[in-house]
Amino acid sequence: MSTENEGNEVPPAPSAPPVPVETPAASAAPATPAPGSPGPGSPGPGASASGAPGQEPAAHQAPAPPAHAGATAGAPSHAPGAGAWPPPPPPAVPSYAQGGGSGSTWGASYVAQHPQEPKRAGRGGLVAAVLVAALVAGGVGGGVGFWAADRNDNSTGSTTVSASNTPADLKRDPGTVANIAGKALPSVVTIEAQGGNGEGGTGTGFVYDKQGHILTNNHVVASAAEGGKLAATFSDGKKYEAEVVGRAEGYDVAVIKLKNPPGNLKPLPLGNSDKVAVGDSTIAIGAPFGLSNTVTTGIVSAKDRPVTSSDGASSKSSYMSALQTDASINPGNSGGPLLDAGGAVIGINSAIKPAESGGGLGGGGGQSGSIGLGFAIPVNQAKYVAQQLIKNGQAVYPVIGASVSLEENSGGATISREGASGSQAVTPNGPADKAGLKPGDVITKLDDTVIDSGPTLIGQIWTHKPGDSVEITYKRDGKEHKAEVVLGQRKGES
């Protein structure tokens, strides 16, 4: 993965750094120029045409050191004209400016231009020597002071402070995000699905049992269901071929199985989504935009949120009464686990409400990212469906035996006047017919849940099982009625 950083435009490099100017001492007396040398008003050797002095005027030069002092400093005492101060300025076109002084892009880091080494130790050499001595003295003094204050602590002289725990013995407390993620990640896989036409995407799944079954979303594996290829990669990088065991489009649940599963599989523990409360902590694991083993956190923002989703590739939609979370989930998180604070799975991440239109979490392109509105299939429902898929290869859906309008925000679920393909809207001798429901009736409640549309009714019915008895509240001719309905069943995706 590569990144690009953008910043403000860098100003052009200066043609030369400013040169400090010393203030002449008031008490200095003019020096007599040596025979044959330039006078005080003449530019000395090395002076620039712009007036930058090549050496300090004679009135401000340090007196020439005695011969033995120059020899001690390592510079010959016989070289005339050495030790000028200030040093000559950098050239008009410095080497650090690209293409010269007017360049707008900086090259390498600025490196100060060093003056030519003086042949005699003058004032410049003396100042440099004093600065180095001060730095060394500061370092030594600091070290001695620290040793004197802590000479009984077996110190090695270092002033750094080490943490009490080293990475080798640092442990994450139970219940922390790091501890939960560390235990769960080895049981989460990144799924690569490829259809016969070469198209596909990336999603997530997690280990359901020790036999090698992986629980995920239908829309993650749908492209590979008919003659495609499936692969599951664990967090340790090991990759296994897989095959589809069963799919439930309406629930958006699928089970795949590793062809040669390892013997050390650890299924993730399944929680109880019915016991989840709004505000409970959540942890999502997945592969957003292909970034495997990504962990994000949040809370349960809402329960029983009616959600209709579609991957755009099929005319069939999925309906769920979802757990809503603000944990960051994105395309590629689909099929991944939503964990509670104890590390148990409470849902399967399935859909998001992006800033622009879209809903599924498959790895396809052109999809928006998370805005904090994520939806997960409650694990109690997913577990029920998974058991059916493993046992029979298909899901069983509870039904009321009536077609309803899918128009949203209609104030209820209206039983249609006519069913699909011209069939009857209320199945003769079906659950709704036996309870006395008729076309045109508007269902407003299922048990204690308010029904505001057809998709909401379907999602609520699918939280039950065939044979369950539910109370339906409906309106007919402006009057409210109640009826007990024993749910029927529908096998497969017909």
Just list the catalytic residues. 219, 252, 334
Cβ contact 447:464 at 8 Å: no
d(CA 17, CA 95): 12
194 token code pair: 């490829």
Cα–Cα distance, 378 to 180 (Å, whole number): 20
Alpha helices in 345-487 (DSSP H): 379-392, 431-434, 454-461
Task: In whole angstroms, give the CA distance from residue 12 to residue 104.
Answer: 4
- Whether the Cβ atoms of residue 343 and residue 183 lie closer than 8 Å to each other: yes
Give the torsion through C-alpha atoms of 200, 206, 210, 211, to 10 deg.
-20
CB 263 within 8 A of CB 252: no
SS3 208: coil
Residue 449 to residues 353, 426, 467, 480: CA-CA distances in angstroms?
22, 22, 19, 16
Residue 395 contacts residue 250 (beta carbons within 8 Å): yes
First-to-last C-alpha distance (Å) of the chain: 44
Contact by Cβ (8 Å): 293, 301: no
State how far the Cα of 222 lies from the Cα of 92, in Å rounded to an integer.
Answer: 69
Rounded to whole angstroms, how far apart are CA atoms 236 and 436? 58
Question: In terms of Cα–Cα distance, which of 412, 407, 382, 397 is closest to 481?
Answer: 412
Q: How far apart are CA 167 and CA 468, in angstroms?
A: 54
- Token pair of 65, please? 């050191």
CA-to-CA separations, 263 to 184, 189, 214, in angstroms, rounded: 17, 16, 14
Residue 390's H or E segment, with its range, is: helix 379-392
Outline where 57-189 has alpha helix (H): 67-73, 123-149, 177-184
Q: Please list, in sequence order, all residues whose beta carbon lies within 8 angstroms of the beta carbon of residue 244, skipping any fewer than 6 positions away.
A: 221, 224, 225, 230, 254, 255, 256
3-class state of residue 138 by DSSP: helix
CB-CB contact of 416 with 406 (8 Å): no
The dihedral over CA atoms of 403, 406, 410, 412, expressed in degrees to the nearest 10, equals: 40
